[in-house]
Chain A
Amino acid sequence: MWQWFFRLGSPKWFYELSGRWLPWLYVAMTVLLSVGVIWALLFVPQDYQQGDTIRIMYVHVPVASISLACFPLMAVAGVITLVWKMKLADMVAMCAAPIGAWFTAVALATGAIWGQPIWGTWWAWDARLTSMLIQFFLLIGVIALRSAIESQDAAARACALLSIVGAINVPIIKYSVEWWNTLHQPASNFAMDNESPFGPEIWVPLVIMIFAVYLFFVISLILSTRNEILVRERRSQWVVDLIAAQKPQGA
């Protein structure tokens, strides 16, 4: 068990494994994303109150829910960095922060675009929206902290601690709509059976979009981490060999 855990922490092993996985992930993402987008934009029925505006949900919900996954991921990576000093965990945490910040920003933007026609306002200082904005600032903070500290090890430790602390915000975002009076509506319960009005015609494309956007997040994270591995391990023999093998002849 522990041996497997430590092998996972080897950048070389991760680089090779992710290289083999990437083509499959690309295929799965392309298929799910095209099915999901076409279904959501063209075939989902209009909502009885919101009409076509409901289609914003198929971008907003996947992006927002995945932005919530970012901090727990960074927190777990942070614990591994602090306790086991695994280099790969820090690289993943470092690469996840900007991606998570983009996801949070897109969730806030699509939420504002949805709020304008439906609520009648772009922004309200309600608990869900504000806690989401705090997550955005926390992620910007993690990125800034990383670049502010020159020593790589010290930066890794500081960012790990901030990520663990920042992850406390995630349950607050998740349950804000239940704990407090908010303008944002609580999470929807979609029923499985065809007879129910909250039937599959609305949530199946949503689930497809969630998986598609998750894959997009994972692929972005893997690509970004692979770059970081090559940069940090540039002096190790396997990277030198890899680059020599890729260089065209006579160059």
Chain B
Amino acid sequence: MKPHRRKKLTIIAFIATGLGVAIGLSLYALSNSIDLFFTPTQVAAGEVMSGQRVRVGGMVKEGSVMRSEESLHVEFVATDYAHDVLIRYDGILPDLFREGQGVVVEGMVANGVFEASRVLAKHDENYMSVEVKAALDASGHSMPVQETEGAANGS
């Protein structure tokens, strides 16, 4: 390689690395604001101020969903299996909403209860056919362990 080309290449590599490090550091510093939601553990630790509009994400605790008979009012517990958050919501839930399913709720904490204005369902990266799921349930395994060996990637 000719010297002037080598020099140019070094400059480009230098600029790219420098920018990469700068952007990496700022994203690292901003990571709290980039997170879409707080975990129930963060809420329990008092990171969410009362009256502040936030999103909380977690799993709908098994057996915690209580629906009102005459209105759309629903109460459930979102958990990350370490801490729980009680959530109240008036509105239509997404189709995927069920116990044991991930959710992201938007709203604010008031008197220790999370008043949600919107509930989004979060689905995981596991896709299974209906037949396979039925067979798994029949054999008593609710969620199989994922194999990483020889795995193909998609998202």
> Which A residues are within 8 Å of any B CB, using their own CB?
45-50, 54, 57, 61, 64-65, 79, 82-84, 117-121, 124-127, 161, 164-165, 167-168, 172, 177, 179-193, 196-199, 201-203, 206-207, 210
Compute how far the CA of A198 lies from the CA of B128 in the bound complex, rounded to whole angstroms.
6
The answer to the question of B83 belonging to the interface, with a C-beta cut-off of 8 Å to chain A, is: no
Compute how far the CA of A196 lies from the CA of B152 in the bound complex, rounded to whole angstroms.
13
Q: Is B31 a contact of A187 with CB atoms below 8 Å?
A: no
Q: Which residues of A contact B104 (CB under 8 A)?
A: 124, 183
Q: Which residues of B contact A172 (CB under 8 A)?
A: 23, 27
A127: which of B19, B34, B122 is its contact (CB, 8 Å)? B34
A48: which of B9, B132, B153 is its contact (CB, 8 Å)? B132
State whether A64 and B132 are in contact (beta carbons under 8 Å apart), knowing that A50-B96, A168-B19, A202-B127 are contacts in the complex.
no
Q: Tell me the minimal C-beta distance from A131 to chain B in angstroms.
A: 9
B121: which of A119, A179, A202 is its contact (CB, 8 Å)? A119
Q: Which residues of B contact A165 (CB under 8 A)?
A: 15-16, 19
Q: Is A46 a contact of B129 with CB atoms below 8 Å?
A: yes
Q: Tell me the minimal C-beta distance from A211 to chain B in angstroms.
A: 12
Q: Is B155 a contact of A197 with CB atoms below 8 Å?
A: no
> Which B residues are within 8 Å of any A CB, using their own CB?
5, 8-9, 12, 15-16, 19-20, 23, 27, 31, 34-37, 39, 57, 93-96, 104, 118-134, 136, 144, 146-155
Nearest chain-A residue to B104 (Cβ)? A183
Q: Which residues of B contact A206 (CB under 8 A)?
A: 152, 154
Q: Is B152 a contact of A118 with CB atoms below 8 Å?
A: no
State whether A168 and B23 are in contact (beta carbons under 8 Å apart), knowing that A49-B123, A83-B9 are contacts in the complex.
yes
Q: Is B129 a contact of A48 with CB atoms below 8 Å?
A: yes
Q: Is A181 a contact of B96 with CB atoms below 8 Å?
A: no
Nearest chain-A residue to B8 (Cβ)? A83
Q: Tell me the minimal C-beta distance from B45 to chain A in angstroms.
A: 15
Q: Is A189 a contact of B36 with CB atoms below 8 Å?
A: no
By CB atoms of chain A within 10 A, which of B12, B31, B118, B150 has the most? B12
Q: Is A61 a contact of B152 with CB atoms below 8 Å?
A: no
Compute how far the CA of A117 lies from the CA of B123 in the bound complex, rounded to whole angstroms.
11
Compute how far the CA of A251 lies from the CA of B133 in the bound complex, rounded to whole angstroms.
67
Q: Is A84 a contact of B5 with CB atoms below 8 Å?
A: yes
Q: Which residues of B contact A61 (CB under 8 A)?
A: 154-155
Q: Which residues of B contact A210 (CB under 8 A)?
A: 154
Compute how far the CA of A49 lies from the CA of B102 in the bound complex, rounded to whole angstroms.
12
Q: Is A177 a contact of B123 with CB atoms below 8 Å?
A: no
Q: Is A188 a contact of B128 with CB atoms below 8 Å?
A: no
Q: What would be 30 A-B contacts, judged by CB atoms less than 8 Å apart?
A: A47-B129, A47-B130, A48-B133, A64-B155, A65-B154, A118-B96, A119-B96, A124-B104, A126-B36, A161-B15, A165-B19, A168-B23, A177-B155, A179-B31, A180-B36, A183-B120, A184-B155, A185-B123, A187-B125, A187-B153, A189-B125, A189-B151, A190-B153, A190-B154, A191-B147, A192-B152, A196-B144, A198-B144, A203-B152, A206-B154
State whether A197 and B36 are in contact (beta carbons under 8 Å apart), knowing that A61-B154, A121-B120, A190-B151 are contacts in the complex.
no
